[in-house]
């Protein structure tokens, strides 16, 4: 889809933490959330149940590897996982480490902010290494 912002040709390679033929893991910082990540399926489809079972399992295995790496590096108070896609119906997962002093906690990052919030930065090279070792 030439007008879809999540179709692969539109993604800056500097964001890419890991990729294979089916998906990409991207660092997509949002205000207050320097470690906000997304896992984006390459094919332009909308829902998990548009994938076959092997594809679903592969995508979730990468989401869980990313969750484990973020927990190991940042020890967040919670991990948030979400596949929404109302704005951009191209299958992608938000993987968000949350902290009890961040902008919205305990609300979702899509609610009104509660405070200025503390940012919890990420060592990108360490995250890349954990993902590469987990995928090996």
Binding stretches for its own copies (CB under 8 A): 46-49, 56-57, 60, 63-64, 67-68, 71, 77-87, 89, 98, 105-108, 110-112
Residue with smaller CB distance to its own copies, 71 or 116 = 71
Residues 41 and 90 sit within 8 Å (Cβ to Cβ): yes
Beta carbon nearer to its own copies, 57 or 118: 57
Distances (CA, A) of 99 to 23, 68, 118: 27, 16, 8
The least CB distance from residue 121 to its own copies, in Å, is 20
Structure tokens at 125: 């090279």
Nearer to its own copies, 3 or 13 (CB): 3
Query: Residue 60, SS3?
Result: helix
Residue (of 15, 34, 132) closest to 74 by Cα position? 34
Cβ-based neighbour number of residue 96 at 10 Å:
23
In angstroms, give the least distance from the CB of 46 to its own copies.
7
CB of 6 to its own copies, least distance (A): 14
Q: How far is the CB of 16 from its own copies (least distance, A)?
A: 22
Q: Report which DSSP code applies to 127.
A: H
CB closer to its own copies out of 113 and 132: 113
């Amino acid at each position: 889809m030439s007008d879809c912002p999540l179709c692969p040709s539109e993604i800056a390679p500097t964001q890419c933490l890991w990729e294979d033929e089916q998906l990409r893991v991207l660092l997509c910082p949002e205000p207050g959330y320097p470690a906000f990540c997304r896992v984006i399926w390459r094919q332009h489809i909308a829902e998990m149940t548009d994938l076959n079972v092997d594809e679903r399992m592969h995508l979730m295995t990468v989401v869980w590897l990313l969750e484990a790496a973020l927990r190991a590096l940042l020890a967040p108070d919670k991990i948030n996982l979400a596949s929404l896609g109302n704005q951009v119906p191209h299958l992608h997962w938000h993987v968000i480490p949350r902290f009890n002093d961040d902008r919205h906690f305990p609300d979702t990052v899509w609610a009104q902010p509660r405070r200025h919030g503390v940012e919890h930065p990420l060592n990108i090279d360490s995250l890349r290494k954990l993902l590469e070792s987990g995928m090996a």
